[in-house]
Structure 1
Amino acid sequence: MTRQASRILLLGGTGDALKLARGLDARHVYSLAGLARVPQDLACTVRVGGFGGSEGLVRYIADEGIGLVVDATHPYAARISANAAAASRMAYIPYWALRRAPWAPQVGDDWRFVDDWAELVAALAPFERPLFTLGREPLAHLHEIPSHQYWTIRCLDAHEGNERARVIDARGPFTQEGERRLFDACAIDVVLSKNSGGAATEAKLEVARERSLPIIMLQRPPLPDADRAFDDPAALAHALQTLS
């Protein structure tokens, strides 16, 4: 490995990032923000927690001899990505990123795009039995559920619901058959989703399509440019291996 890429810092928290981490040896670092489950079977170092913004990340890069930052965080982790790009520029090292291709509606799909929570709530108003697949954000709004709605919220962490909400802690990949059972059990009439892309959670879109259900889709935030951007995890994994 060259001096420039003597040590890799992989910013993760997604399934794709974990697969990349499994290809790294003990020289390298896999960093998690702290919300994901910490893997116990990796050869590389696993670091949990924030860096203190871009300036803290610059210090970490210098202290740990990092020569390449690889951003494989969630497409909606915009602040982390912005800090990683800025820190890499300040440290004069490359910034690579996995930019997973977004999903796209097919002919006949009823996708309703929104930019923030306020727009999402307005779009949700006509429905009664939504399925939220937005991560943790709906948990902060359990006290705001309208009287005509019952929410089903699926996220990674266990959380108590209430009389108007059920919270399901589950991690993909999800199958179409499993999603059909969930939609039936909860009488889902609309799906709320981030446009995360990838196959692991795409089954909900297929089932919504089968049933002609609308999808309220939260638009992706803008992400910083990368020195090298990959839309295929396998291609990124290969590129990392060529550095060895």
Structure 2
Amino acid sequence: MKMKRILLLGGTGDALRIARQLGAEHVYSLAGLGKVPDDLACSVRVGGFGGSEGMARYIEGEDIGLVLDATHPYAAQISANAAQASRAARVPYWALRRPAWQPQDGDDWRMVGDWTELTDALAPFRKPLFTLGREPLAHLDEIPPHQFWTVRCLDAHEDTPRARILAARGPFTLEGERALFALQAFDVVVSKNSGGNATEAKLEVARERGLPVVMLRRPELPAADREFERVADLLEALQAAD
């Protein structure tokens, strides 16, 4: 794809789909978590920028003409830095805003805004499944005496007497989630409202089993010059801008 040089901020499956359409002159930037792709035509940059000012300097120094934000919906600080850096460097800032999941009939969602609210909501339960990423790993010494946690995240980590750590990367199938839930007998699921279908199966299994879901609210994200809900729409817009 030929156009002004793109800085693609990624780390999600959606971002990788976009990166696979970019030519050698463009840059795919990753924070460094998880697997770094080695089969892309575009350049891959790993690591931070040093806040919005550092990103603005990078944009100007690398002659970037468009910033594409395809980070996770909960990567609020990265998105804020990207929006500010784009304004400072006077380049367009486009964002892929994946639609949030919506509760369906039979769902029992308990919405929370932060870790304190989350732990309060979990107080009645004994065997939660955490699907929040790495954050619960910082709280393994805070597990209440009546609870045993299962934490699913990208990071490998030793189990503890009070927690099981499952290092796994989506997408997760409905059959696989059913088997996991049946084996571990979770009584509550803890989730971010990530949207998309890669990790949605856990919500369907929770619905099937009548389990509540403690759902972390999405953070507020900065407005973009153009926002897209689907990768296909963003790629079409890039093609039209060629």
Partner of 1:192: 190
Large movers: runs of 4+ above 3 Å: none
Q: CA deviation at 1:13?
A: 0.3
The count of residues paired between Structure 1 and Structure 2 equals 242
Report the secondary structure of 2:119's partner residue: helix
Q: Distance in 2 between matches of 1:160 and 1:129?
A: 18
Q: CA deviation at 1:86?
A: 0.4
* Runs (5+) with no aligned partner, structure 2: none
The one-letter code of the counterpart of 2:6 is: I
Q: Structure 2 residue aligned with 1:180, among 178, 181, 188?
A: 178
Partner of 1:37: 35
Report the secondary structure of 1:235's partner residue: helix
Q: Distance in 1 between matches of 2:34 and 2:50?
A: 18
The one-letter code of the counterpart of 1:175 is: T
CA RMSD of aligned residues (A): 1.1
TM-score, normalization by structure 1: 0.97
Partner of 2:67: 69
Q: Distance in 1 between matches of 2:68 and 2:233?
A: 13
Q: CA deviation at 1:84?
A: 0.1
Q: Structure 2 residue aligned with 1:116, among 114, 117, 131?
A: 114
Q: Deviations over 1:106-165 (max 9, x none)?
A: 123100000000000000010011000000000001111111111111001211120110
Partner of 1:142: 140
* Runs (5+) with no aligned partner, structure 1: none
Partners of 1:6 and 1:66 within 8 A in 2: yes
Report the secondary structure of 2:182's partner residue: helix
Q: Structure 1 residue aligned with 2:161, among 152, 160, 163?
A: 163
Alignment of 1:74-89 (within 5 A): 74-89=72-87
Q: Distance in 2 between matches of 1:12 and 1:149?
A: 35
Alignment of 1:187-226 (within 5 A): 187-226=185-224
Report the secondary structure of 1:27's partner residue: coil
Q: In the alignment, does 2:236 pair up with 1:238?
A: yes
Report the secondary structure of 2:129's partner residue: strand
Partner of 1:54: 52
Q: CA deviation at 1:242?
A: 2.8
Report the secondary structure of 1:142's partner residue: helix
Partners of 1:190 and 1:216 within 8 A in 2: yes
Identity %: 72
Partner of 1:28: 26
Between 115-124 and 229-238, the greater mean CA deviation after superposition: 229-238
Between 156-165 and 13-22, the greater mean CA deviation after superposition: 156-165
Report the secondary structure of 1:196's partner residue: coil
The one-letter code of the counterpart of 2:46 is: V
Report the secondary structure of 1:38's partner residue: coil
